[in-house]
Amino acid sequence: MAGKAMDRETTVEQCDVAVIGGGPAGSTAAALLARRGYRVIALEKERHPRFHIGESLLPMNLPILERLGVLEKVHAISVFKAGADFEAANERGYNVFSFGRALGDSPPHSYQVWRQDFDKLLYDHARACGADAREGQQVVAVEQHGPRQTRLDVKGDDGRRYTIDAHYVIDATGREALLSTRKKLKRRNRQHQSAALFSRFRNAAHRAGEDAGNVSIYRFEHGWMWMIPLPDGSMSVGAVCWPDYLKRRRGDLRAFLLDTLRQNAALWRRLEGAELVDEVRAAGNYSYDSAQMAGPGWILVGDAFAFLDPVFSSGVFLAMDSAERAVEVVDGALREPGREAPLQRALEKRLRDGMARFAFFIERFNEPVMRRMFSSPRNTWQLEQGVISMLAGDLFDPPPVLRRLRLFKLVYGVMVLRSLRQWWVGHRYRLAQARAE
C-alpha cells in the first residue's frame, strides 16, 4: 500500500491555475493568464477540432479577439456578418438590424464561424501563449483542501491517470457545468425553458448583397428558428422549441426537424432545393444559471456559470467576456488574497446585470407585443439603435445604451397596457411552457 501511495505522489503536478474546458472561455482565460507569467494547465476532455453549436459571434467579440491577438486569423476563417434580420410583414419579408447603426462603440460588423475551427484556433493560441494546453484529458474528480489548494484527478483518453494540485481553478466546461453541478449550484431557469434541434443544409438561399452573412431569425407557434451562413457556403438551420412541442415528436429526429422547419413558410422557401448534409442533433435544458459564480480558489466562466436561450447569439461573447474579466479576479486573488471576495462579487453582479438585459428580450421574444416591436421597429428616441447595441453585445457599460434599454422597457410596458388581453394570452402560455417538464 505504501508503494502505491508513493507512486501516486510522484505523479502529482503543480500549477498556479488549472483551466477545465477548452472552448472559447477556457482558451481565453488560459492564454491571458499564461501571458501574465502564471503556470497554467488547461484540460479539454475531447480533441480539437470537435463539433460545437453556436456559430454566430457578436460585434463585441471582436475587441476581445484583438486583445488576444487572433482577430486577423478569425477573419480568415469566417463569414462577414453585417447584422441580424428578423421576419417581418413588409415587401422583402424581413427587417435588418445593422450593427453599423449601434449607439455605442461596438464594431460595425461581426463574423459567423465554424465553431470547431474557431475553438481549435483559440486553444492553439492559448498553447502558443505559454499555457500547457492538453487535449483528451477528462477531470474525473475535484477535491478542494483549502482556498489555494484544489486537487484534480485527471484521466487521459490513453488511459493514463494523474493528479494536479492547483492554487486556482477556472471551470470553463460549458453546459457540462462541472463545478456548478458538483457543488449543487446549478439551477433551471423557471422563466424560460426550451430545447433545440438543428443540422446543416447545402444550397440554402442566402440573403442578397450586404445581408448575405446575416443571421436570420424566424418565429413559429412553438418557438423560433435560425439560419446562419457558414464559411463553406452551407447553412446552419435549427429551431428552439417549447417543451410541450418536443413531446409530440414521432419518428426519427431528421423527420421531426424537417416537419418543424416547414411550419415557417418564409424559412422553408429558402430551403427549396437545399440538401440536408449533416446529422440532426438535439440539445435540451437550454436555460440555467448557478446560484454562485465563485468562491475561494475557484470561479465559473461562460456556460459553466449560466446559459441563455441563444436567440441573440450571446453565448460566445458572454463566455469570452466573463473569462477575460475572470483573469483580473484570479490575478488579483493570487497577488492579494484579501481582494478576492470583492472582486468576485463585482464580476458576478456585472455579469448578472448584463444577462438580465438580454433575458428581458429573450423571455418575451415570442409574445405579441415584442413581436410587433421587432417586426415594425421605430427609432423614436433612438430606441431601435439601443436594441441594435444590445444585439451587438454592448450592454454592460455605455450610459446612452443603458438609457435606451430602460426606455424601451417603458414603451414596451405602455404597449402591453394597450393590448392587455392579447399580451396576457401569450404571457400565460410562455409561463406554462417554461414550467413544463
| The pLDDT of residue 434 | 61
If you write DSSP's letter for every residue of 239-286 in order, what string do you get? EEE-HHHHTT--S-HHHHHHHHHTTSHHHHHHTTT-EE-S--EEE---
Assigned domain for 145 exists? yes
| The pLDDT of residue 426 | 67
Assigned domain for 75 exists? no
Report the alpha-carbon angle 89-92-96, nearest 5. 85
**Same domain? 268 vs 227:** yes
Would you put residue 302 in left (φ > 0), alpha (ψ -120 to 50) or beta? left
**Same domain? 217 vs 243:** yes
Residue 382 belongs to what domain range? Answer: 355-434
Question: Are residues 264 and 218 in contact, defined by beta-carbon separation less than 8 angstroms?
Answer: yes
**Cell numbers representing residue 300 in the block:** 465559473
**Same domain? 29 vs 173:** yes
| The pLDDT of residue 193 | 73
**Same domain? 265 vs 393:** no
DSSP code for 367: S
Question: Are residues 394 and 152 in contact, defined by beta-carbon separation less than 8 angstroms?
Answer: no
**Same domain? 253 vs 332:** no
**Same domain? 27 vs 139:** yes
Boundary residue ending a domain (283, 303, 331)? 283
Boundary residue ending a domain (352, 371, 401)? 352
**Same domain? 43 vs 124:** yes
In angstroms, the CA 403 to CA 405 distance is: 5
Residue by residue, pLDDT tens for the chain (437 residues) are 334 443 444 479 999 999 999 999 999 999 999 999 999 999 999 999 999 999 999 999 999 999 999 999 999 999 999 999 999 989 899 999 999 999 988 999 999 999 999 999 999 999 999 999 999 999 999 999 999 999 999 999 999 999 999 999 999 999 999 999 999 999 987 766 788 999 999 999 999 999 999 999 999 988 899 999 999 999 999 999 887 788 777 779 999 999 999 999 999 999 999 999 999 998 876 689 999 999 999 999 999 999 998 889 999 999 999 999 999 999 999 999 999 999 999 999 999 999 999 999 988 888 888 888 898 888 999 999 999 999 999 999 899 999 999 999 999 899 888 888 777 766 666 666 666 55
Q: What share of the chain is helix, strand, coil (3-state, %, to 5)?
A: 45, 25, 30
Question: Are residues 203 and 273 in contact, defined by beta-carbon separation less than 8 angstroms?
Answer: yes
Number of H helices, E strands in the chain: 15, 20
Boundary residue ending a domain (302, 333, 352)? 352
**Same domain? 132 vs 203:** no
| The pLDDT of residue 319 | 98
**Same domain? 202 vs 182:** no
Assigned domain for 29 exists? yes
User: Residue 332 corresponds to which amino acid?
Assistant: G
Assigned domain for 422 exists? yes
For residue 241, the domain's CATH number is 3.30.9.100
In angstroms, the CA 196 to CA 213 distance is: 22
Assigned domain for 100 exists? no
Report the alpha-carbon angle 390-265-274, nearest 5. 95
**Same domain? 249 vs 296:** no
For residue 330, the domain's CATH number is 3.50.50.60
Assigned domain for 87 exists? no
**Same domain? 44 vs 165:** yes
Assigned domain for 26 exists? yes
Task: Say how many domains are in the chain.
Answer: 3
Q: What is the pTM of this model?
A: 0.93
